[in-house]
Structures are given as structure tokens and as C-alpha cells.
Structure 1
Amino acid sequence: MSLAASSPGAQGKSGRPFPFPVELLGLLGLGLLWWLLTLPAVTGNPFLEQFSPGAALPALTRLLAEGTLWEHLLVSLKRVMVGLGLAFVIGAPLGLLVGSSRLLERATEPAFQLLRMISPLSWMPLAVMVLGVGDAPIYLLLALAGLWPILFAAAGGVKNLNASWLDLGRSLSATRGEMFWHITLPGILGSLLQGVRLAIGTLWILLVPCEMLGVRAGLGYFILDTRDRLAYPELMATVVLIGLLGYLLDAAARWLVGRFQGNT
């Protein structure tokens, strides 16, 4: 449930909802702040006008209409999906194991917490030396970034399973496979999806610096390209697009989590 829907500010004094989405107020305020911070009369710097909404939004419309950004956008989305898939394939089973064994959890927690605190970007030079320039090191760095939210979410979900569900399964002589598919997996799915949502946000934030590893496509690469061409309205347009896409990805993940939790 969103804060706007649950808070008194989302309704008028009569209890009826406002006739417009209150979420728009925040976006309008952000747009106004953006405009003010690039206004020469406010900043005294005419150069910043190239990053203004009046310059960036037409550039974004043009780049999308020309198809210039579509290739970079699709390449970036592919990298995020591959990185997320690798993180899930590794993190979910490992999290299930850790959450199922108190001894294994105690043995691995210090090492996992230490590794989690190392920025994936710290591994960038080593990844390039081992895997070379291209998509492979990007996949590795994104997978490392998404691994920990998924692993800890899976482990936490197993630890917080309702004990009565497990007792019921044992009383019915359920096999290990039946316990997993009918009790454990449905019981941890909400936590696991929350971990996936956190992983998506982490991967999307990390994507741009990862795409500055010498690849020839992607939104991060395009930002460097616009900088080198001094095409600052296009640079700001790409930044806006990254924000919009990140918002949509998170909204899709929130919808998925809410849909599952609403059915449980």
C-alpha cells in the first residue's frame, strides 16, 4: 500500500480523494527544481541552460523518434536481465541453504557480510583483466551487485517460515520435494520477490558506470559519447531516460510483489 493511499494527506477534509493524483505534486516539484537550477537568471551560469528541461526534453523526443536511443536502451535492458538472472540462479538456492541451517548461517555470515560491503565496482579492473572488454565483465559485476539482496531475502524468508506449516507437512508425511514446492517456496516467495526488487534497483544504478568499460553500446556508453561530442542536451536527455526506465522497472517489481502478497 502506498503512503499516499494510506495517509490523511491523500484525502480532503470530507474524506473524498483529491480530484488529481497527489503523486504528480512531487514530480511537478522536481521538474520545477530542475528548471530553476538550470535557469541563468537564478544560477548566473548560461552554460547550465543546455541541461534545462527546455533543452533536454526536445532532445529526448528527437532521439527516440530517430531511433538513436533504442539500440542502447535494449542493450542495457538485456545486460540488466542477464545480470539479474545470474544473481537469482546463484543467490536463491544459496539463500535457501543458508536459511535452512543455523550452523551454515553462522559459518558463512561473516564472509558474506564482508563481501557484501565491497562495492562491485571495486572488482572492475580484475573483471576486465580476467574476462576482457565486453559484455562478460558487465554481467559479472551486475550479478555480484544483485546477488546479496536475493541471497539474504531467500535466507530470511526460510528463517521466518511459519513453523505450524512445517509441522503440518511433517504430520502428513510429506516428502522433501513436497515440502519445498507446497510449503517452503510459497512461504518465501514474497520475501524473494522483495529481494529481486532490491536487486533490480541496485543493478540499474550500477549499470551506467559498468557500461563505461569500453563497450560500444548501452546507455552508459551513450552518456560518454554525448560528453565527448559536447552534446549536453542529449546527455541530459539520456539521464532523464535512465531515471524514467528505472522508475518503470521498480514499479513493475512493486506490482509483482503486491500482486503476490494480495493473493496470499
Structure 2
Amino acid sequence: MNIQEYYKHSALTALNGSVMSLFPILLFLIYALSSNYSFPILLVFIPFLLYSFVCYQSYLIYHRWYEKASPSLSCGSTIQSEKHLIIHFAAAPALKMYLFDGNGSRVGEIKEKYEWKLRWILPYFLDALFRGEYFIYDREKVVAQIKLQKRYIDVFIVGNDGEEKKITLSQKSKGIYQYGTSAYKVKKKAFLSDILILNEKNQSIAGLQKGWMPAKLDPIFPNPNTPILTVSEKSSPEEKLIVLALLTKEFLYKDH
């Protein structure tokens, strides 16, 4: 998948939502006409009409981005080889995060282990009862599994030899996690959606920004509010996966 295909899929999803939200109006209208229903019909229609309108506007936006996007040919990059990862989200019960490189090619993905259809209609407080397990894909290969718990984040890193290494991030306080002698702080900037991830020395190992798109990426990513994750060149491959695990917890239910 490249970014243009992502915009096309998102546009069609929004259009389907707009059309499907009109079906309850049609069914209720048929019922009201056949039974002389006296309740003000417009009051019943308003929520469905508003939702249909919002979905259709989303369709127009995504379709415009689809027409403007011009991704380059993939150069075989991976999430480990890229310093900058461009993040997009897809509809999911809790989370589906796509990771693109600067050419507009999808190099990785974070998605749930369990995507049961029933979860789509569950409210947050019920869906949160399900065990939060996620896979990190580098291209098509699973490189880590994440298990989210109330006070812990378990990261199982899959090595090239297939063996797993378990890293347990213990949450000491809000936004502060510890693993052995290492510590990680998730810092959100006030009034902004920017996120900084700092180590125990208060040094930045990664940062996520929105509303800042380099000029050279404008033809590829027309949405100026696209989140960009930048990882320090000094960060190890293990730390990069820890960063993605921390962001997984931060972005739960981003597009439920």
C-alpha cells in the first residue's frame, strides 16, 4: 500500500458511512407513512443527516488528497532504516496505525491481534475489558508484540533468529515508564498534539509533530496535519520499538 491507496480507501470508507447512515431514515420514513406516525419526523432524522453530512465531507477531503498525492517508487526501506515515519490511522476497534516512509510507501503497521466484529459496536468502557495485544510489522514481518496492561507495557521483540526478548515497561506515574536502569517519559506539549519521548537523562529519543510538513513531502502527503515521528539517530533498534509501543498506548481508540 502507498499513501495514494490509503487516501482512496479512506475516501470510500467515508462515502460508505455517508450512504449507510441514510438507510435508517428511509426505513423510518416508510414506517411513519404506513402507520400515520405523528411524531415530528425531522427530529428523528437530524442525527442521521448530520452524520451522513460529516462522512460525506470526509469523503470529499480524502478524495481531494487522493488526487493530489504523488508517491514515489519504494526504495525498500523499513521502519528500522527510516529516521522519519509518517503516521496515518485506519478505522479499527481500538487501533490500526500505518507507518509510511518519505516516499509514501507503507513500511510498517501496528494493529490489534484480535479484531472481532462485535467490538465495533461496543462502547469504550466495555471494549477496554479485552486484552490489549498488538503486533508491530516491519514490512510484512512481525518484529514485536505488545501487551498493554493497566500499569505495565510488555514488549516481546522478535530477533532475526526467531527468539523473543521480553521488555516490561513499568508505569511509575503518568507518562513515566521504567525498564531496568532505563526510564522513558512521554511528554505532551500544552495546547498542541506534539509528543516528546525522553530518556532517563532527559534527552529526546523521539518526537511526534503535527502541522509541520517539510516542503519536499507536500506533493506526497497533501494533508498538512499528518503526524511525523522522528527518532534520534542515537536510538537503538530496540528503543525504536519501545517508542512505537509507547505511542500505541497513547493513540488507543484514535479511530474507533
Q: How would you bin the TM-score normalised by the shorter chain?
A: under 0.3
Q: TM-score, normalised by structure 2?
A: 0.25
Q: TM-score, normalised by structure 1?
A: 0.25
More strand by share: 2
